[in-house]
Structure 1
Amino acid sequence: MSRYRHDLPQMRQDLFLTDGGLETTLIYAEGLDLPLFAAFPLVEQEEGRAALRRYFQPYLDLARARGVGFIIDTPTWRANPDWAARLGFGPADLERVNRLAVAFAEQLRAEATDHVAPIVISGAMGPRGDGYQPDTQMSETEAQSYHAAQIDTFAETAADVISAVTLNYVEEAIGIAKAAKAAGMPVIISFTVETNGCLPTGQSLQAAITQVDEASGGYPAYYMINCAHPRHFAHVLEDRGAWLDRIRGIRANASTRSHAELDAATELDSGDPAALAQDYRAMRTKLPSLCVVGGCCGTDHRHIRAICEAVAPA
C-alpha cells in the first residue's frame, strides 16, 4: 500500500522531478497509436508496458544520478468514464486499468532499488472534457460525483497522492478536491492557462486557486500549472501575494504556441530545451515553494535534464 500518503516528501521543499509529455513522446518518438490521446490501455498489454518502461527509465536514471526525488504519474489521464466509454471500456474495465496502472508504477519503484531519494506514486487524472477547452462544464457536485469512482479506486491502491492535471475551470477542480477529501486521499490540483495567463474561462489563476481553497477548506496539498509555456504565465507570478506559496509544481509545454495552434499542428514542436530550462530557473525566484519540476506536451528527458541542471546545478 501507500508509503507516503500521510507524509508527502515533496512537501519538505526537496527537489522532485516528474516525467515529460508521455503521450506526445509515445506518439511521435515511439510511433505508437494512442486513440483519443489515451495511454491507459497500454498497461493491459505486455508490449504496452514495455513501451512505458522504456519511456520512464531515462527519467528515473536522471533522478537517481542527481540524487533527487521522482514522482511517477500513472498513465491514466484519460481513464475516466466518458473518455473510456469512447474506447470501449466500461466501469469494471476502468477500475481494472486504474489498478493495473498503479501496480505498474509500484513495479517501477520496486525495481529502482538503488534510488536513495523518495519515489512517489501519483494516480493521475484529467478533465472530463477537452483539456484545452472547458466544453463539458459541471457543477461542483456533479464533478465530485463524476470523478469519485477513479479517486476511490486509487484510494484502495498503493498510490500516494492524486494529481488532477490540465484542469481548465474551477468547479471541476473543486469537485475533485472534495471527492479526494471524502476518500482520504491527498490531491494536487493543476490548472492549465492560455497565453494571457488566465484559465480558458477567463478567470485568473489567483482567483481559481483562492476559490478552490475556500470551497474545500484548503484541502489540496498544493497546486501546479501544466500544459502551457512559462512565457504564457510568468507575468502573473509577479504579484508577491501569499497565494504563490500554494504553487509547488510546474509541468510546462515545450512549445510557445497557444492551445489553438497546438490543436491544429500536424508535427510535434519540441521547442528549445535550454531556453525552457532558463525559464524554469527564472520562475524559481518567483515561486518560493516550487519544488516539483517536469514537463508536459512536447517535452522529453532532454528537457527535464536541462531543467534539473538549471534549477539545481550539480
Structure 2
Amino acid sequence: MGLLEDIKSKTLIADGAMGTLLYSYGIDRCFEELNVSKPDEVKRIHEAYVKAGADIIQTNTYGANFIKLSRYGLEDETKQINEKAVRLARSAAHSAYVLGTLGGIRTFNKNKYSLDDIKRSFREQLYLLLNEEPDGLLLETYYDLEEAREVLKIARKETNLPIIVNVSMHEEGVLQDGTPLAEGLALLAGLGADVVGINCRLGPYHMIKALEEVPLLKDAYLSVYPNSSLPSLVEGRLVYETDDAYFRNSAVEFRNQGARIIGGCCGTTPNHIRAMAEAVKGLPPVTEKRVKTREKAAAAVQRERTEPALDELAKEKRSIIVELDPPKQLNFEKFLRAAKELKSAGIDALTLADNSLATPRISNVACGALLKERLDMRSLVHITCRDRNLIGLQSHLMGLDTLGLSDVLAITGDPSKIGDFPGATSVYDLTSFDLISLIKQFNEGLSYSGKPLGKKTNFSVAAAFNPNVRHIDKAVKRIEKKIDCGADYFISQPVYSEEQLIKIYEETKHLKTPIYIGIMPLTSSRNAEFIHNEIPGIKLSDAIREKMALAGSDKQKQAEEGLAIARSLLDAAYDLFNGIYLITPFLRSDLTAELTTYIHQKEKETTNVYHH
C-alpha cells in the first residue's frame, strides 16, 4: 500500500525536527553535511522518530541545494549529501515512508536570488533525490507563494510520486503576500500537490486557528507541522519549551480540522511525536468539517494627498528638489535657516539623507516633521537598508505615515565601514528592490507578513540611479527592475558632463518614469579633485578641473566658477529632464538657492520667448 492509499483511511504521523536535536547535541554547522561526516548521528535521529511512532520520515536535505550549501563552501558536495540522505533515511525507516525534502529558499530578502537561480538549484536537488527513489517529496517552509508555485510545477512535471507542499505563515491565516491561507493551499492543490499544509514559525495554537478557516479539499489532503513553541534565548542559544501533553491535545485538534499528516517542526522531538501518535491512534480521519469564516476587516482607507506626488510634478512641470544633509551636531536652527532660504528660492521639496556616508546625523524623520511644522515645507525622506532590520523598517514606515511624510527614497545605504564607526553593523535585511516592494505593499494596506495595517499608506517612492558607470545600459536595467518593484521616479547621482547628460537622456527616453537629474556645484579645486579621484564612478573633465584650479584660493571666485559650471550643466539638462535634483555641498544653501533662482529665471525667459 502506498502513501496516498494509506492516507485515505487514517491520519499519518510524520517526524519532528532534525536540526533541533543535532543542535542540542552541540552541533552548530551545516546540518545537511552531517549525512556524510556523521551519518550515525543522523540515522540515530531517524530511528528515534520511527520508534516514537512516525509513519513518515523526511530526509535530512532541507537546505541541501546548491544555493544554501554554497554558503558553507559545500556546493560541490550537493550530489553526495542528497544521495547519502535518502540512503540513511531508508536504512532507518523500516515500514515508515521516506520523503525527499526540499526546503524553500526565499526569505524576506526576496530579491537576493532570482527565480531562475532558485529553479535551477531546485531542479538539481530534485533529480538527485528522485534518483534515490524516495516514497514521495516534501516541499516545506515556503514563505513565498510564488516560489512554492513555481517549484511545484517543476516537481509535478518530473514525477508521479506523492508531493506534499507546506507553506509557512508569519501571521495566522495569511501568507506573506496577503493571500489567505485557504486560497493559497487551494492554488497549490490545483497545481498538482497531493497534500498541502503548513509548517514552521508558529506553534500549535495559531496553526489550529489557521486551519479552522481552511475547508477540506476535493483533490488534496491537509498536513500540519507546528513548531513546539516560540523560542527563547538562553545564554545565546535558542531554546524551545513545550510539554508533551500539550502536543497530545493539539494532535486531536489537528485531526479534527482535517489534517491527514501531522508532524513537527522546529523544537519538536521524538517525545512530541510519540504523544501525537498516541493521541490519534485508532481515530478515523475527518471527512466533514465546519469552516470558520474570517471576519472581513473594514476596507482599508487611504489618506488622500493634499499635493501632487513628486513623480507627478515632474510629469507636469519643471520640478526642483534640493538635498540638504541633516546636521551632524545638535544645531538645528542653522539647518532651519538654510531650509528657509531654499524654500524662498522656490524649491518643490527638500530631500533629507539618512545618515549619509554612514555618519550619525539628526534623524531625517525629525527634520522632516519639524520642517513641515515650522515652515510648511515638503520633505523627501531617504530610507536606507543599512541601519534597520525588517522590524525597524516597518516601524519606520508606519511612523512616517503617521507624521504625514509621504515622499520617500528607498536606497541600500553606504556601508558602515566607510563612516565614523567602521565597526558598526550594517544590517541589510532587505535590498533597495525589496524595500521598494515593501513600501508598495504598505500602500495596499498590508505589512510584510501580509497582516492588515488598518489603512493604506500613500507613499510616493523614489529610487536611486547612478549613471556614472562604464556601461550605462546596465544601470538602466537596474532602473527597469526597480520600476517592476514599484519605483515611481528616480533621482540620480551628480553628473558633471554635458555629453553624459545627453547619453543618459538617450538611454532612458523610452521610460515613462521621471528622472530627477543630479547637479552638485563644485566649491573649490580641492573639492573637484576629491570628487574626481576619490568618488567611485565620477570623473570630471580636464577642462572643469582646470577652471576650478584657475580660480585659485579666492573663495568667492571658487564659488562663482562652481556656479558657472553648474549653470552650464543645467542649460544642457533643461530641455532633456523636467526633474532637477540639486545637491547642496557642505550646507552651502546659498549655492543651491542661487541655482534654483537661475532655473526659475530660465523658465520665465523661455515662457516669454514662447509667448512672443
Does the TM-score normalized on the shorter chain lie above 0.5? yes
Structure 1 position 89 matched with structure 2 position 46: no
The one-letter code sitting in structure 2 at the alignment partner of 1:237 is L
Asked whether the 8 Å contact 2:106–2:143 carries over to 1, the reply is no
CA distance change for structure 1 residues 245 and 302 in 2, over 3 Å: closer, same or farther? farther
The one-letter code sitting in structure 2 at the alignment partner of 1:95 is K
Give the CA deviation at 1:165. 0.6
Unaligned runs of 5+ in 2: 284-612
Q: Equivalent residue for 1:119?
A: 96
CA distance change for structure 1 residues 61 and 276 in 2, over 3 Å: closer, same or farther? closer
Asked whether the 8 Å contact 1:169–1:200 carries over to 2, the reply is yes
Asked whether the 8 Å contact 1:17–1:293 carries over to 2, the reply is yes
2:222 to 240, 248, 261: 248
Instruction: Report 1:227-238 matches (<5 A).
Output: 227=200, 228-238=202-212
Structure 1 position 202 matched with structure 2 position 175: no
Instruction: Please give the alpha-carbon distance, in whole angstroms, between the structure 1 residues aligned to 2:114 and 2:217.
Output: 24
Moved more, 76-85 or 248-257: 248-257
The one-letter code sitting in structure 1 at the alignment partner of 2:130 is A
Asked whether the 8 Å contact 1:194–1:232 carries over to 2, the reply is no
Instruction: Please give the alpha-carbon distance, in whole angstroms, between the structure 1 residues aligned to 2:219 and 2:130.
Output: 27
The one-letter code sitting in structure 2 at the alignment partner of 1:54 is R
Instruction: Report 1:60-71 matches (<5 A).
Output: 60-63=50-53, 70-71=55-56
Instruction: Report 1:41-60 matches (<5 A).
Output: 41-45=33-37, 48-60=38-50
Instruction: Please give the alpha-carbon distance, in whole angstroms, between the structure 2 residues aligned to 1:309 and 1:150.
Output: 35
Q: Aligned with 1:123: secondary structure?
A: strand
Asked whether the 8 Å contact 1:254–1:295 carries over to 2, the reply is yes
Q: Aligned with 1:163: secondary structure?
A: strand
Instruction: Please give the alpha-carbon distance, in whole angstroms, between the structure 1 residues aligned to 2:113 and 2:218.
Output: 27
Structure 1 position 224 matched with structure 2 position 197: yes
Asked whether the 8 Å contact 1:139–1:171 carries over to 2, the reply is no
Q: Equivalent residue for 1:171?
A: 146
Q: For 1:111-150, what per-residue CA distance to the aligned partner results, in whole angstroms no more than 9, with x for missing partners? A: x3xxxxx4211111111134xx463577876654441111
Structure 1 position 108 matched with structure 2 position 92: yes
Q: Aligned with 2:237: secondary structure?
A: coil
Report which of the two structures shows the higher radius of gyration computed on alpha carbons.
2
- % identity of equivalent residues: 24
Q: Equivalent residue for 2:123?
A: 148
Q: Aligned with 1:51: secondary structure?
A: helix
Instruction: Please give the alpha-carbon distance, in whole angstroms, between the structure 1 residues aligned to 2:134 and 2:77.
Output: 19
CA distance change for structure 1 residues 15 and 240 in 2, over 3 Å: closer, same or farther? closer
The one-letter code sitting in structure 2 at the alignment partner of 1:32 is I
CA distance change for structure 1 residues 197 and 122 in 2, over 3 Å: closer, same or farther? same
Q: Equivalent residue for 1:294?
A: 263
Asked whether the 8 Å contact 1:95–1:153 carries over to 2, the reply is yes
CA distance change for structure 1 residues 277 and 201 in 2, over 3 Å: closer, same or farther? farther
Instruction: Please give the alpha-carbon distance, in whole angstroms, between the structure 1 residues aligned to 2:236 and 2:92.
Output: 33
Unaligned runs of 5+ in 1: 64-68, 113-117
Asked whether the 8 Å contact 2:143–2:168 carries over to 1, the reply is yes
Give the CA deviation at 1:204. 1.5
Moved more, 165-174 or 178-187: 178-187
Asked whether the 8 Å contact 2:172–2:206 carries over to 1, the reply is yes
Asked whether the 8 Å contact 1:138–1:171 carries over to 2, the reply is no
Asked whether the 8 Å contact 1:164–1:188 carries over to 2, the reply is yes
Instruction: Please give the alpha-carbon distance, in whole angstroms, between the structure 2 residues aligned to 1:281 and 1:242.
Output: 16
1:40 to 22, 27, 32: 32
Q: Aligned with 2:239: secondary structure?
A: coil
Give the CA deviation at 1:254. 0.6
Q: For 1:38-83, what per-residue CA distance to the aligned partner results, in whole angstroms no more than 9, with x for missing partners? A: 32101112xx1111122122221232xxxxx621211000111111
Q: Equivalent residue for 2:82?
A: 98
Q: Equivalent residue for 1:31?
A: 26
Q: Equivalent residue for 2:279?
A: 310
Q: For 1:2-22, what per-residue CA distance to the aligned partner results, in whole angstroms no more than 9, with x for missing partners? A: x95xx6444323332222111
Q: Equivalent residue for 1:14?
A: 10
Root mean square deviation of aligned Cα:
2.7
Q: Which has the higher contact order (CA 8 A, sep 6+)?
A: 1
Give the CA deviation at 1:196. 2.5
Give the CA deviation at 1:24. 1.0
Q: Equivalent residue for 1:135?
A: 110
Q: Equivalent residue for 1:162?
A: 137
Asked whether the 8 Å contact 2:67–2:121 carries over to 1, the reply is no
How many pairs align?
Answer: 280
Give the CA deviation at 1:167. 0.6
TM-score of the two chains, using structure 1 as the length reference: 0.79
The one-letter code sitting in structure 2 at the alignment partner of 1:225 is I
Q: Aligned with 1:271: secondary structure?
A: coil
Q: For 1:231-252, what per-residue CA distance to the aligned partner results, in whole angstroms no more than 9, with x for missing partners? A: 2232233336344974432111
Give the CA deviation at 1:183. 1.3
Asked whether the 8 Å contact 2:106–2:144 carries over to 1, the reply is no
Q: For 1:256-278, what per-residue CA distance to the aligned partner results, in whole angstroms no more than 9, with x for missing partners? A: 46xxx78x973311212211221
CA distance change for structure 1 residues 239 and 224 in 2, over 3 Å: closer, same or farther? closer
CA distance change for structure 1 residues 236 and 293 in 2, over 3 Å: closer, same or farther? closer
Instruction: Please give the alpha-carbon distance, in whole angstroms, between the structure 2 residues aligned to 1:156 and 1:84.
Output: 20
Q: Aligned with 2:263: secondary structure?
A: strand
CA distance change for structure 1 residues 85 and 141 in 2, over 3 Å: closer, same or farther? closer
